[in-house]
Amino acid sequence: MTEQSSPSSIQPKFEEIAIDGATPAERISGAARWVVVIGTLLALVLVVNQLFNLQLFSIVLIDGRYLYILGGIFLALTFLIFQMRGGKGGVPSILDWVFFAAAGGCTVYLSQTAQQNLSQGWEYAAPETAQYVSVVFFFLILEATRRAGGLVLFLIVTLFAFYPTFAGHVPDPFSGFQSTFLQTVPYHIYSAESSFGIPMKAFGGVVIGFILFGAVLQRTGGGQFFNDLALGLVGGYRGGAAKVSIFASGFMGSMSGSVISNVLTTGAVSIPAMRKTGFSAKTAAATEACASTGGVLMPPIMGATAFVMASFLSRPYVEIALAAAIPSILFYWGLFTQIDAYSAKRGLRGLPKPDLPRLREVMIEGWPYIFVFALLLYMMIVLRQESSAPFYATALLLVVNQFRASHRLNLVRLGNMVVGVGMGLAELTAILLGVGLIVGSFSATGLAGTLVNELVFLAGDSTLILLLTGAITAFIFGMGMTVTACYIFLAVVLAPALEAGGLNQLAVHLFILYWGMVSYITPPVALGAFAASTMAGSNPIATGFEAMRLGGVIYIAPFFFVLNPALIGQAPAWEVTVALSCALIGVAMISAALQGYVSLIGPLEGRFGYPMRVMLFIGGVLIAMPQNNLANLGYALSFAIGAILCALPVVMAWRANAHDPRPA
């Protein structure tokens, strides 16, 4: 008998994680709060004026000046939001205010001289004053990166930021063109290839609108709606609490783009619900970690990374989102089937019906969110207005929200929302400016081209070795960087090498994104799994290994779609249909093998249990793997069907001897 839960314990409200009884947005008070609110609103007005070409007060900005002002505002706010010793909120020290003022002063100078910089080529020949300003701004970026991105990212960024100053002394193949300190720093600040290069251009053009939309959606009841919707859809089925976690975390992760914040918000709801319905602590935590990790990979929003990818590839964002849809489906299908097998194997049932919201009532209450999403998707896919779509959707959401008493914004809620938006944008800006320094160093030294040639040379003619090398590289760098930072770094260093190996460009960029995410559920780092384990009270390492099993598809699927572009929609419709069908069947078999349970049949246990699981796993891989022709597909199907036929008699005999009734 599983423990039953009260409605209030199953359906708590989504809130920001509180520290000492207050959320991070509420902990910023006094003068700092007013500065954050005013700075955030000014930045948003600047963005709207630029993207919609409103020419407010007859202001028309060149791209360089626009990015300097936008980046400078949020860089300055970083020093009021993030404490010197880590953590958000609190009372800024005098030194924080000094850094804030310095960032503001540098921003004024950079914006005023943007036209001179453009016409006179300051990245190569900056005047003396411009050099001194660039040095101050450079060190402010490093400090902001440390506060917002953590010590590991800071050390990586700092090493590569200074790399041009000693590149000539590094042994091959890592040597490059060497510059002096006062040549390197102005290049970082004034060049369009470094801090204010592609990442910041993507931020100022598209990313900021979607970050704003996601923040407003969450603070106007979107999180609660998606949780209730998931409860109404799958909460009553076996393992319902975990299946709710999959859906809710997928929705929220797609908007937030942050694995850790997704775990902390949705996990506060899903992990206790899973524990109360019979899930072990480590499985509950691992499920939430996997679901939150997959959310960053799921369209339609995918956090900020997909927009940066669109800028790198010079492709419409819609094309990126559509390509990411099938891999995302495979990941969540694998997680869903494993949870179903886990629940069936242990006889776990769904949440009690009285504890579940009625789906009809949820839809009536939450129709504005569906309408807003429909508008967003229509503008993105049909009208192709990616930059303006999130602003229209946000405006509509705010208007509709004021007619709903349950989530209506008053002055306090509105203030917290603006501060929360400013905190998110400041954090992302600091990280993008810092990671841009890495991109700039590769550009200044020519190292990117050297590494590409070396990787291709080491791999020889073997595409598999090149992919394995790329996967290991992406995994290692993913351990020390945020999702967006890791992707930007690998897009410069690794992607060209894989593309030179003859692989599809879009598939390559999705491949490095997936393998950059692997570290969130893989020990020894496993940040997502460790964050969830603290909430579930489970052993962190055990939770990490359980997350590896539940999220096993994330290790395999990238090889499938990078070798078969049909799995990212880069093929005729019939080929995509066949590839997806085979992949879904194969992933279901792989999931059954990992859990040791075949749905509708029974557990794979006893003397032949592990051999049968190995056969099912190999059969699943053969079905799902890229097929060059129908003969290979027939061979894979034959092996897989043979594996199932060999397993069935043993399973049926075991069930007959054990008199084990099929789980509900």
Residues 511-559 have pLDDT tens digits of 998 998 888 888 877 888 888 888 888 888 899 999 999 999 999 999 9
Q: By C-alpha distance, which of 436, 454, 435, 440 is closest to 174?
A: 454
**Which residue is associated with the tokens 């910023």?**
28
**The pLDDT of residue 640:** 58
Average pLDDT, the chain: 82
Tens-place pLDDT, residues 457-500: 776 677 888 888 888 888 877 776 777 778 888 888 888 888 88
Are 55 and 184 spatial neighbours (Cβ–Cβ below 8 Å)?
Answer: no
Q: How many CB atoms are located within 10 Å of the residue 152 CB? A: 13
pTM of the model: 0.79
Are 253 and 291 spatial neighbours (Cβ–Cβ below 8 Å)?
Answer: yes
Cis check: omega of the bond before 626, within 30 degrees of 0: no
DSSP 3-state of 601? coil
Tens-place pLDDT, residues 581-613: 889 988 998 998 898 888 777 777 777 778 888
How far, in Å, CA of 602 to CA of 656, rounded? Answer: 11
Q: CA 373, 255, 28 angle in degrees (round to 5)?
A: 120
How far, in Å, CA of 567 to CA of 578, rounded? Answer: 10
* pLDDT confidence band for 321 (50 / 70 / 90): confident
Average pLDDT over residues 437-446: 87
- In percent, the amount of the chain with pLDDT more than 70 equals 87
Distances (CA, A) of 345 to 332, 361, 400, 647: 20, 33, 45, 17
**The pLDDT of residue 44:** 93
- In percent, the amount of the chain with pLDDT more than 90 equals 25
Average pLDDT over residues 151-165: 90
Spatial CB neighbours of 85, under 8 Å, sequence gap ≥ 6 = none
* pLDDT confidence band for 131 (50 / 70 / 90): very high
The DSSP string of 477-520 is HHTTS-HHHHHHHHHHHTHHHHHHTT--HHHHHHHHHHHHHGGG
Tens-place pLDDT, residues 84-120: 887 787 789 999 999 999 999 999 999 999 999 888 8
How far, in Å, CA of 526 to CA of 187, rounded? Answer: 36
Tens-place pLDDT, residues 225-249: 877 888 888 888 888 888 888 888 8
* pLDDT confidence band for 73 (50 / 70 / 90): very high
> For residues 37 and 235, which has the higher predicted lDDT (pLDDT)?
37
Q: CA 270, 275, 281 angle in degrees (round to 5)?
A: 100
Check whether 301 has a pLDDT greater than 80: no
Full 3-state SS string of 418-479: HHHHHHHHHHHHHHHHHHHHHHHHHHHHCHHHHHHHHHHHHHCCCHHHHHHHHHHHHHHHHC
Check whether 198 has a pLDDT greater than 90: no
How far, in Å, CA of 340 to CA of 238, rounded? Answer: 7
Q: How far does Cα 489 stand from its chain's mean position? A: 15
The dihedral region occupied by 150, where left means phi > 0, alpha psi between -120 and 50, and beta the remainder, is: left
Spatial CB neighbours of 139, under 8 Å, sequence gap ≥ 6 = none
Check whether 411 has a pLDDT greater than 90: no
Are 604 and 647 spatial neighbours (Cβ–Cβ below 8 Å)?
Answer: yes
Distances (CA, A) of 468 to 324, 474, 512, 555, 558: 21, 10, 11, 11, 11
Sketch the domain layout of the chain as residue ranges. 24-201, 571-664
Check whether 662 has a pLDDT greater than 80: no
Are 78 and 427 spatial neighbours (Cβ–Cβ below 8 Å)?
Answer: yes
> For residues 271 and 2, which has the higher predicted lDDT (pLDDT)?
271
Check whether 209 has a pLDDT greater than 90: no
**Which residue is associated with the tokens 């496993």?**
526
Q: CA 352, 358, 361 angle in degrees (round to 5)?
A: 160
> For residues 636 and 134, which has the higher predicted lDDT (pLDDT)?
134
Check whether 421 has a pLDDT greater than 80: yes
**The pLDDT of residue 47:** 92
Are 251 and 369 spatial neighbours (Cβ–Cβ below 8 Å)?
Answer: no
